[in-house]
Amino acid sequence: MNIGTEFSSGVIRNKISSGHKKHIVYLSEVLITVLISTIMFCLTAVPLVAYHISYLQRMNYLILSLALIFTAYIFIGIMIVFVCFVTANRTAAAIIGGLLVFLVNVIGYNADRMLDEPEFYNVYHQANGDYFTVAGELQETEDMDDIVEITQEENPEYPRGIKRNIVTVIRDSNPNVSINSFMSYCYCTNNSEELYEYEKESHSEMVRSEALMCIAAVLITICGALIFKKKNLK
């Protein structure tokens, strides 16, 4: 909102008129946003960790988890800066920025859900002609005596091949997914053994997320600076 106000009041235009290059103005706002994101991180994530330190100190990858949250904060801020400079309007930036954050959250949720889909469904056919499906591995059921056949069907919702790779990149580069993963990391394990297994399963995903968010943040910053450089301010 502060950037939108600077556009509306002519502050940005005056900075450029006084000799500052457009890309320098853009990068200076990005640096301010990084500073604000750092303060927000210290005011929110750090107290949460301090409150749960007796549990979190057992984590092998606590520093990596905190780095993910910190990067996610900065990434969200950089997206908002991009919207503000592209729209160059306070009202439009507020509306589009809010919608963008909501959209990123929805996309992240759906990408996570798609990757959690089982690859196959087991179809249990009963003697009376009825059947029921169960996701995952074959397992015993209470009415196994009535089962005459078990078949396996592909789940059409399960992403395969290139589609799965694309969805994985979208999920791993999504800041909201990283924040939600950290919350699950904190609350979805009850003992040291479960925590170890959860960390072991999530480590490669966490590393990918950190790398992809950093790359995406740099690319958005470069694109934003180039677009603003060519933008004609009225």
| 46-60, 64-78, 185-199: segment of lowest average pLDDT | 185-199
Span 185-206, average pLDDT? 69
pLDDT value, residue 94: 80
Which residues contact residue 144 at a Cβ distance below 8 angstroms, ignoring those fewer than 6 apart? none
Query: Rounded to whole angstroms, how far apart are CA atoms 176 and 182?
Result: 10
Q: How confident is the model at residue 2 (pLDDT cuts 50, 70, 90)?
A: low
Which residues contact residue 27 at a Cβ distance below 8 angstroms, ignoring those fewer than 6 apart? 221, 225
pLDDT value, residue 39: 92
Which residues contact residue 98 at a Cβ distance below 8 angstroms, ignoring those fewer than 6 apart? none
pLDDT value, residue 162: 92
User: Does residue 179 surpass a pLDDT of 90?
Assistant: no
